[in-house]
Amino acid sequence: MSLLDVTGLRVRSADGRELVSDVSFSIDAGTRLGLIGESGSGKSLTTLAIMGLLPAGMTVSGSIVLDVPGLPRTQIVGAAEGALNGLRGRAVTVVFQEPLTALDPLMRVGRQVAEPLGRRRGLRGSALRAAVLAALEEVRLTEPDRIARAYPHEISGGQRQRVAMAMALACEPALLIADEPTTALDVTVQAEVLALLDSLVSARGMALLFISHDLAVVSTVTDRVLVLKDGHAVEEGIVQDIVNAPRDPYTRSLVASARELDSALDRITR
């Protein structure tokens, strides 16, 4: 049994349009899967369905089973809010593209990191303060004291994404979903945050579902990938195989455009 088993997932809008069509995949404990596709292909809705957070009015069918050691095996589709609340954080946590969505603009960063740490580890007072600084250091934030005292708007976008990662990791999830976590960052910061994510996921033995529209980015952090187009899964496999021999026409076009960018860079640097 996998950690996450998604079978025949369908999501429909309130007006009956099918936005995600019969998508199936699974993730074993400690393994990684990339979900790739252009804008509107259904990546975010798939993520939200796994978290049980689809917008009101949408309907979901199929099966999403989370089976995390030490927690009740749960069918997410149709689960009661209470059961989902018990799973969010500890079983599965998301880091979103825009870290401001995870952060309260009116609360100092340190207090926000303290909240999941206190809840998960039962820490208070000076032990909690020390754990907050350690969590900020773990995501390689220099000057953790200053960052802890800052409000979200007083730190950079890259620093905010590291804070969001620290908050996600504080829950010690079995599965981390990273939904385009570096898309809003500039390219050099993007590479650093990806490397950090990669090493933290390995160090903690977490499973990772990594969402991106960028094949090059996906291939740096995952070895297996599922390609989505217009809500349908068109191809799944090892990244290396998909890059070398894409079977589906859409995957071929993704690979061709990634290569195009690469060779444009080569031409300039030659």
Ligand X SMILES: Nc1ncnc2c1ncn2[C@@H]1O[C@H](COP(=O)(O)OP(=O)(O)OP(=O)(O)O)[C@@H](O)[C@H]1O
Using CB under 6 A as the criterion, which residues of the chain lie in contact with ligand X when the complex forms?
13, 19, 37, 39-45, 55, 213
Q: Which of 163, 155, 156 is nearest to 138 (CA)?
A: 163
- Cβ of residue 177: shortest distance to ligand X, in angstroms? 12
Tokens 């996998």 -> residue: 2
**Cα distance between residue 165 and residue 143, in whole Å:** 17
Q: Which is nearer to ligand X, 19 or 150 (CB)?
A: 19
How is residue 198 written in tokens? 């990669």
- Cβ of residue 30: shortest distance to ligand X, in angstroms? 25
- Cβ of residue 189: shortest distance to ligand X, in angstroms? 20
Q: Let me know: does 8 contact 62? Beta carbons within 8 Å.
A: yes
Q: Which is nearer to ligand X, 13 or 199 (CB)?
A: 13
Q: Which is nearer to ligand X, 7 or 21 (CB)?
A: 21
Q: Which is nearer to ligand X, 38 or 104 (CB)?
A: 38
- Cβ of residue 183: shortest distance to ligand X, in angstroms? 8
Q: Which is nearer to ligand X, 172 or 230 (CB)?
A: 230
In whole angstroms, how far apart are CA 77 and each of 111, 137, 256? 33, 37, 37
- Cβ of residue 45: shortest distance to ligand X, in angstroms? 4
**Cα distance between residue 142 and residue 140, in whole Å:** 6
CA 241 to chain CA centroid, nearest Å: 23
Between 109-121 and 157-170, two packed helices, what is the crossing angle to 10 degrees?
10
How is residue 189 written in tokens? 């910061």
**Cα distance between residue 143 and residue 141, in whole Å:** 6
